[in-house]
Structure 1
Amino acid sequence: MFHVLFDLGDEYYALTSALHPFGIQKVRKVMVIFVDHGYDSKDPWRDALDYCSKFTDCGEVIIFMTAARNYAYKIRDWGKLMVTAGIGESGENAGRTINVAVFLDFGVSVNGLVDLIRTVTEAKSGALRDLSYEFTGTVSDAVAVGGKPGEVSFLGPGTEVGRKVAKEVRQTIRFLLEGEKGKSNAVGS
């Protein structure tokens, strides 16, 4: 196992389907733990926390786990984006994963976070369709969205920010999957 740890530079409240944390929590970092393709565990949640605790206080860390080696971390005018992307021979392969985290640098309501999950998921599915895959994701995909406490409650692709996020997510996933060919790709800002 190895990892990358992204410091978000600020505190966000986040909603996620990643291994950690549960529910809506304050976060300051994102950790991506890279495992071997053959990784198999009955308790990946415990594995993730045990591993994370060797390197940082995991209380305000979103933890993703993946066998994919391609990842990107980008800072944009609306906030931050982190994507890991890899797929096996089918969308049922849990060892390869598409994880997406989006953190907005402005105030968002809980309804806005839920709407942003929809926007991110649609963009991911669109990227897979663009690449002619016949599935919309893998069984181990996860999403995290976050923002500052606030009132924005609609972040669909019909809004300016939603459109920017969707475009960036879709382009990043396409880039990472097109370049997968058995090598690692890391993309920065």
Structure 2
Amino acid sequence: MQYKVIKFDLGNEYITLTSALYPEGIIRVKEVCSIFVDKSYCSNDPWKDATNWCNSKSAVIFITAAKNYKFSEHIWGKLFVSAGIGESGEDAGCTINIAVFVNQELAINGLVDLIRTVTEAKAGALRDLGYNMTGTVSDALAVGSYPGKNYFIGPGTELGSNIARAVRNTIVELLKEE
């Protein structure tokens, strides 16, 4: 089994909430690490694989068999997306991983609101492409910001709308490349 590790430096430290393999809980991160594996990858301890292969204590770590990915910088922050969908859309090897880091000060409630915004954008992108699903069985998400007190970053806000558009457009772009 072969794998490839790609790291993206965030340039700053962000307080982060994630469903990715690593880290656990609310923690500060400085980079995104994406591990690309082939579809034969099967492990009883993917957490150990992720931390060994990425070799970073300050990264959000994703594992995917998707081939397409994009890291982009925006006026509001940084976006990472890796995206792939199998024939049924339920193939665990093909995943949509998303990381959004905003250069704003958010409370934990704001990070949760950002999770909602990003998840809705992902579901919208899949609908735009004609899929009858909101994601795959192994999708993961990470959101981060500077610590602060702002609570709202939903799609009704200018920032939330800009993030949702970027997420949606990136997913559509990557899945059209498949």
Q: Please give the range of the TM-score, normalised by the shorter of the 2 chains.
A: over 0.9
Given the two structures, how large is their TM-score scaled by the length of structure 1? 0.92
Moved over 4 A (4+): none
Describe how 1:15-94 pairs up with structure 2 within 5 A.
15-53=17-55, 58-94=56-92
Q: Distance in 1 between matches of 2:5 and 2:162?
A: 28
Q: Distance in 1 between matches of 2:41 and 2:85?
A: 15
Residue of 90, 100, 103 corresponding to 2:101 = 103
Q: Distance in 2 between matches of 1:152 and 1:168?
A: 21
- Please report how far the alpha carbon of residue 91 of structure 1 lies from its aligned counterpart in structure 2 after TM superposition: 2.3
**Which residue in the other structure is 1:185 paired with?**
none
Q: Distance in 2 between matches of 1:17 and 1:160?
A: 25
- Please report how far the alpha carbon of residue 152 of structure 1 lies from its aligned counterpart in structure 2 after TM superposition: 1.2
Task: Give 3-state SS (helix, strand or coil) of 2:57's partner.
Answer: helix
Q: What letter is aligned with 2:170?
A: T
Q: Distance in 2 between matches of 1:101 and 1:136?
A: 17
Task: Give 3-state SS (helix, strand or coil) of 2:104's partner.
Answer: strand
Residue correspondences, number: 176
Q: Deviations over 1:107-132 (max 9, x none)?
A: 01000000000000000000000000
Task: Give 3-state SS (helix, strand or coil) of 1:59's partner.
Answer: coil
Q: What letter is aligned with 1:148?
A: Y
Q: Deviations over 1:166-187 (max 9, x none)?
A: 000000000000011xxxxxxx
Q: Distance in 1 between matches of 2:58 and 2:50?
A: 14
Residue of 155, 158, 162 corresponding to 1:157 = 155
- Please report how far the alpha carbon of residue 102 of structure 1 lies from its aligned counterpart in structure 2 after TM superposition: 0.3
Name stretches of at least 5 consecutive residues in structure 2 with no aligned partner: none
Q: Distance in 2 between matches of 1:105 and 1:51?
A: 28
- Please report how far the alpha carbon of residue 135 of structure 1 lies from its aligned counterpart in structure 2 after TM superposition: 1.0
Kept in 1, the 8 Å contact 2:37–2:65? The answer is: yes
Percent identity for Structure 1 against Structure 2: 59
Name stretches of at least 5 consecutive residues in structure 1 with no aligned partner: 181-189
Q: Deviations over 1:47-91 (max 9, x none)?
A: 1011112xxxx2111100000010011100100000000000112
Higher mean C-alpha deviation, range 38-47 or range 68-77: 38-47
RMSD: 0.6
